Amino acid sequence: MGWQAIVAPFVQAGNTIVLNNQGFFVYNGSPALGNLIASIVPATVTDPYGNVSIAGEYTYGPNGAALGIAANGSFPAIIFSPPSVTHQSVNPQISAQAGNAGLANEYEFMVQFSGASGLDSSAIELFSESADGTIAAKIAAIIGGVQLLTLTKTNVTITVPITATSGTAASPTVITTDTPHQATLLNGWTNSGANANGLWYKLLSTGSVELTIDILPPNAVVGNSVCFTLPLGYRPQTPKNLGPIGWNNPQVNNSASLPWVFVASNGNIVITGIEVANIGMFGTYTLPLW
């Protein structure tokens, strides 16, 4: 006589517990749709009453709420399912992993992940020092796949401008720390003055951006040309005309008007109204970010 699948329901503390060839199930009272409160199953299944049981060890609440412990891929994780969600593409979760497992420089780390319903998500990563001391312990903050902050025992690295606001809405106090950044020019623009000067940008304590421009267009440029695109954090909310830009020997070139500096809301810096090719252009501007 061969083995048979056994369904073994029993009641304990007001709950019905069922053990069968699908897994282990706990119901709030008699088994029925909507009253599954816990399960341990090797793979996601639907029980005979229509309840979906998620692979791993899970407890369930109303409106799709769930909390689970599972081997998420090759590492253990605590996985959260918020109730009533309709756009969730990745669950919020806390996972534990190891780098260089089994090697002399092995280290452990944990990831607290926000989950995702839209394009960007965020995470905090906690890393231990490696077993041989060659890799330092650190904390990393990530948004949209970009590591924005790294904190070690001896150093803090921040890759975006720092802004702290206090005071009142009518009279805020803004403290900003930033250093000048040199742009990598686009569309054939080059630094003027034998490859010196160039285009630089810096966030000011007022919350505006200072632009210093000393650049040379390619010989063929006449009209309008994008010379650089400012990164996020340095772009105005609305387009800004910053005014005319100086250029070399205007009397000799005999242009009808000065070129103009325009910054679009996507960060494009456009030199408009270029009437003479291959002339060095220069100026310093304050770019409001409103």
pLDDT over 90, % of the chain = 58
Question: Do 172 and 193 form a contact (C-beta atoms < 8 A)?
Answer: no
Question: Which DSSP string do the residues of the chain spell out, in sequence order?
Answer: -------EEEEETTEEEEEETTEEEEESSS--TT-EEEEEESS-EE-TTS-EE-SEEEEE-GGG-EEEEEEETTEEEEEEE-TT-SS-SB--EEEEEEESTTSTT-EEEEEEE--BSSS--EEEEEEPPPTTSSS--EEEEEETTEEEEEEESS-EEE-S-EEEEEE-SSSEEEEEE---EE----TT-EEHHHH-SEEEEEE-TTS-EEEEEEEE--TT--EEEEEEEPPTTS--SS-EEEEE-EES-HHHHT-SS--EEEE-TTSEEEEEEE-SSS--EEEEEEE---
Domain boundaries, the chain: 8-60, 93-158, 181-287
pLDDT digits (tens, 9 = 90+) for 103-145: 999 999 999 999 999 889 999 999 999 999 999 999 999 999 8
* Pairwise CA distance, residues 188 & 14, whole Å: 76
Confidence (pLDDT) at 205 = 77
- According to CATH, the topology of domain 181-287 is Immunoglobulin-like (2.60.40)
pLDDT tens readout for residues 35-46: 999 999 999 999
Is pTM beyond 0.75? Reply is: no
CA-CA distance, 248 to 107, in Å (whole number)?
58
Encoded amino acid at 21, one letter? N
Q: pLDDT 10s digit of each residue in the chain, 290 long?
A: 454 455 555 555 567 999 888 899 999 998 999 999 999 999 999 998 999 999 989 999 999 999 999 875 668 899 999 999 999 999 999 999 999 999 999 999 999 999 999 889 999 999 999 999 999 999 999 999 899 999 999 888 888 777 666 666 666 666 667 889 999 999 999 898 755 689 999 988 778 899 999 998 888 888 899 999 999 889 999 999 999 988 775 545 556 678 899 999 999 999 998 887 778 889 999 999 88
